[in-house]
Structure 1
């Protein structure tokens, strides 16, 4: 049995979705490819979703699938913004990442100039100097070379530095950089840069990335895909410019359109991605099949309220840590339900888990976590299609454990027998016993 879910060993660019499309997102990738291959105007697409929704997994597979499976001809680049935010200027890192993906030949020749421009903009104190006549410098446009020719030694360095610092110098550099990009895409395939983990970066770096994309990469057939939580990115904007700024409007300056990954793995919207993921990884980790089946019934209610794929991984690890976890599927159903609920609360809502283990949890909080409303537990309305028997059972068992009573009252005996065959269990001891026997030893540092 494994303690943690196994991670994909993915060879980026060499693998697509192929047989690993567990979450049913290949179709979304194909539509994204079709759009970016057809459009000539520069486009910035935000693949939007909360943390743990599988954006990185999707994007890492998409950069390979674009050519291998979707018939795309564009050169794709995967760039982890969070891994590069120790740098001050994202222009250097992006330019280097693009250069690594370009084939040897004319494309690389065009890109040498772009790299030289980027370097000089980002590192003003190291521009030109005594080596001004080297190949890298001579590729730059006239005014800088003129400044070098007219001055000598340290004066040449100062003259060049002053030029690049002036506004007209930066504009000239931007136009030169764009010219290099245009030469690449005019002569060959489009360029698509995937920038992942942007919302995890330092606020100043994240916003610098957006500014660089807008001002330096606004060239036909050059597109960007951002893996991002737009809500979190809006928080970054407000952290930088003040709480009163309209963050959503600000981001519209940089992002052309957004897309959300599908929540369901099938076209009939019957199976949620989180459920499919849980069932597959639970099997891989050696979790008891019957226990996994019981957890699935809980997740079918809870996932509607926003359980992420990362939350599912936390649930799986906590199931492994439960003492005698393989025996739980043989317990009375009441004990199974309360234990499984504790696992889900511990992984997804630690605040509610703390409330449960300090006798402060309320039945309304259980209702909110599972998305239970009055219609779902109204047995008189079973034929309406709104009633959900699993919701009725979970709610009733928790009501009994919390208060020693059940709603409706005539079902009290039924729920008490879910903990003891004679229905004699003292309800006040249920939660203390669960936390003492199953959750008192290990705490996971996520």
Structure 2
């Protein structure tokens, strides 16, 4: 049975690394990221920038485990899926909970004791505190202890004791921000304890928090996450890695502050540096891309599917495989699960190659595909999309060259030369692919009928994580 999507890879967070999951040779990128967060003590916010569908989530889920294998004695990693939590009002509470799951596995550890102080302060820093005025209680609880260390250790008990005074403290809270500032100081002081600074104040332990899917969140939630990172976690030894598409994140800024806002400048206030995650093809070469395609067909039950095999021929084209993301390739294969391939008794192999080309055209340019369905064939840019307008074969496999030459001639025959019946295209080499009686006019009709009736009514929408 065929599947519409590639099943989610079974990655065990914090245990699995890149071994067995690194289909695109990205371990080197992971090593560079690890080196960066270990060498630098200043708080970093690193944007791992990649287009939608480039495999950011798989990379980051592997990286949090890979980093622990080599640096787990002095660094803790946390993975937080922001998109799964953006239905909540307050990202600080959700983020604090995710960190607690990692830090408090050993409740008696020094790190766990330090983090509990931050966790107790967190509710009084978020939106709930603004509504209820409870941050004033933090200031009162700390002031009752008489010293900073005592404040941090006793804060939980004092908050419980003073809990009945929430309503009474409401007016005082709005008159001054002392309570919230005290909560902020408690939170940051706990983070500093968590990094176990040496005598010079340099962290000996590090915390690296991965926030994934930030670009898929509601704009107000995504930007709140950035503000929380900047204001609450700005501590040496605490690093953030953001899995995001910076172009889309910039759109979130414009959604909040207007289309004329300086979105890139705004993001620059929060993000220290960015690392570009290759899109899964043009930087890693054709071989890893074809390996991904092979694995995708196996997982989707498409091995031996004539239409999927036809798509493979197109994926070998340099211009196309440099423009498609991994999600794009998955979506193309999804059509092979939905559509029935042509019977090889009609038209041989080329009929499915024709259908595969139309699938790519529809995916790459729905506008041009609609024009084709209306018969406006001279407006179609399929040749440019596939790279057939400037096709070259330096050091290419002879069989691959022959296939691409055949496809180039076929689509040039359809779109470039018009449909004059006096021009012949089918020669001896092409008879193995096309019936003898299929002339230009009938080929034109077949292409239009296929676009309108076989493919025009089907639309596969994106699905799943990056």
Q: CA deviation at 1:44?
A: 0.8
Residues of 1 paired with 2:171 and 2:85: CA distance?
26
Q: CA deviation at 1:240?
A: 0.9
Q: Contact (CA 8 Å) 2:50, 2:279: kept in 1 or not?
A: no
Question: 2:329 is matched with which residue: 312, 327, 332?
Answer: 312
Matches within 5 A, 1:6-405: 6-68=7-69, 73-102=74-103, 103-105=106-108, 106-122=110-126, 123-124=128-129, 125=132, 127=134, 140=151, 154=165, 157-159=167-169, 162-163=172-173, 166-186=176-196, 189-263=205-279, 269-271=284-286, 273-289=288-304, 291-301=307-317, 303-304=320-321, 306-324=323-341, 327-328=343-344, 331-362=347-378, 364-373=380-389, 375-376=390-391, 392-402=405-415, 405=418
Q: Deviations over 1:95-114 (max 9, x none)?
A: 11111101322222212221
Q: CA deviation at 1:320?
A: 2.1
Matched, 1:438 2:438: no
Q: Deviations over 1:75-113 (max 9, x none)?
A: 110101111112222111111111110132222221222
Q: Deviations over 1:151-171 (max 9, x none)?
A: 9965x7433763487344433
Give the direction of change, closer, same or farther, for the CA distance of 1:307–1:249 in structure 2 (3 Å limit). Answer: same
Question: 1:424 is matched with which residue: 428, 439, 451?
Answer: 439
For the residue of structure 1 that corresponds to 2:372, the secondary structure is helix
Q: CA deviation at 1:119?
A: 0.6
> Please, which moves more after superposition, 349-358 or 82-91?
349-358
Give the direction of change, closer, same or farther, for the CA distance of 1:116–1:392 in structure 2 (3 Å limit). Answer: same
Residues of 1 paired with 2:371 and 2:282: CA distance?
37
Give the direction of change, closer, same or farther, for the CA distance of 1:260–1:169 in structure 2 (3 Å limit). Answer: same
Residues of 1 paired with 2:253 and 2:455: CA distance?
40
Residues of 2 paired with 1:280 and 1:389: CA distance?
25
Residues of 1 paired with 2:72 and 2:120: CA distance?
33
Superposition RMSD in Å: 3.8
The equivalent residue for 2:200 is none
> Please, which moves more after superposition, 301-310 or 327-336?
327-336
Q: Deviations over 1:291-328 (max 9, x none)?
A: 54432221233534521111111111211222246x55
User: How many pairs align?
Assistant: 431
Give the direction of change, closer, same or farther, for the CA distance of 1:197–1:264 in structure 2 (3 Å limit). Answer: closer
TM-score (norm 1): 0.83
For the residue of structure 2 that corresponds to 1:3, the secondary structure is coil
For the residue of structure 2 that corresponds to 1:40, the secondary structure is coil
Q: Deviations over 1:357-389 (max 9, x none)?
A: 33234465113322344x427xxxx7799x976
Residues of 2 paired with 1:26 and 1:235: CA distance?
30
Q: Contact (CA 8 Å) 1:46, 1:226: kept in 2 or not?
A: yes
Q: Deviations over 1:324-362 (max 9, x none)?
A: 46x559843442321111222344443333333332344
Give the direction of change, closer, same or farther, for the CA distance of 1:317–1:152 in structure 2 (3 Å limit). Answer: closer
Give the direction of change, closer, same or farther, for the CA distance of 1:253–1:383 in structure 2 (3 Å limit). Answer: closer
Residues of 1 paired with 2:94 and 2:377: CA distance?
49
Q: Contact (CA 8 Å) 1:48, 1:228: kept in 2 or not?
A: yes
Q: CA deviation at 1:133?
A: 9.6
Q: CA deviation at 1:200?
A: 1.0
Q: Contact (CA 8 Å) 2:49, 2:277: kept in 1 or not?
A: yes
TM-score (norm 2): 0.80
> Please, which moves more after superposition, 175-184 or 66-75?
66-75
Q: Deviations over 1:164-200 (max 9, x none)?
A: 8734443332222111101001266200000011111
Matches within 5 A, 1:397-416: 397-402=410-415, 405=418, 412-414=425-427
Q: Contact (CA 8 Å) 1:234, 1:248: kept in 2 or not?
A: yes
Give the direction of change, closer, same or farther, for the CA distance of 1:83–1:152 in structure 2 (3 Å limit). Answer: closer
For the residue of structure 2 that corresponds to 1:45, the secondary structure is strand
Residues of 1 paired with 2:314 and 2:437: CA distance?
26
Structure 1: runs of 5 or more not aligned: none
Q: Contact (CA 8 Å) 1:33, 1:72: kept in 2 or not?
A: no
Q: Contact (CA 8 Å) 1:47, 1:259: kept in 2 or not?
A: yes
Give the direction of change, closer, same or farther, for the CA distance of 1:311–1:272 in structure 2 (3 Å limit). Answer: farther
Q: CA deviation at 1:254?
A: 0.8
For the residue of structure 1 that corresponds to 2:209, the secondary structure is strand
Residues of 2 paired with 1:362 and 1:305: CA distance?
25
For the residue of structure 2 that corresponds to 1:339, the secondary structure is helix
